Amino acid sequence: MSDHADITDKIIFAAVRRGLDAVRRQPRLAPDCRCHYCDEEVGAAALFCGVDCRDDYDKERAAIARAGRAV
Ligand SMILES: [Zn+2]
């Protein structure tokens, strides 16, 4: 029984590790006082002017990644 648990643990940990590695390989956005989606001025530490732009940006990047293009 513990063999199954051990194997399952290894599979789960490997999947989590692959997910974390994929997230860490993504380029990080740097704040530049402009919304990264609509180019509106934002505060110095903000990346987006609001959650709508953030969500649209994420959706656009995901679509580009699914299409197999560089993001
Ligand atoms: Zn925006």
Domain boundaries, the chain: 2-66
Rounded to the nearest whole angstrom, what is the distance from the C-alpha of residue 51 to the centroid of ligand 1? 8
Please report where in the chains the tokens 């956005």 appear, as a residue: 29
Cα 53 to middle of ligand 1, angstroms: 5
The helix (H) or strand (E) run that includes residue 5 is helix 2-25
Judged by DSSP in three states, 46 sits in coil
Q: How far is the CA of 49 from the centre of ligand 1 (A)?
A: 4
Mean pLDDT of 43-66: 94
Residue 1 has pLDDT above 70, yes or no: no
Give the separation between CA 14 and CA 7, rounded to whole angstroms: 11
Render pLDDT for 2-52 as a digit per residue (tens, 0 to 9): 899 999 999 999 999 988 887 788 778 999 999 999 999 999 999 999 999
The predicted pLDDT at position 71 comes to: 59
Task: Name residues whose C-beta falls within 8 Å of residue 34's C-beta, 6 or more positions apart in sequence.
Answer: 40, 41, 42
Distance 23 CA to ligand 1 centre (A): 23
Cα distance between residue 59 and residue 46, in whole Å: 19
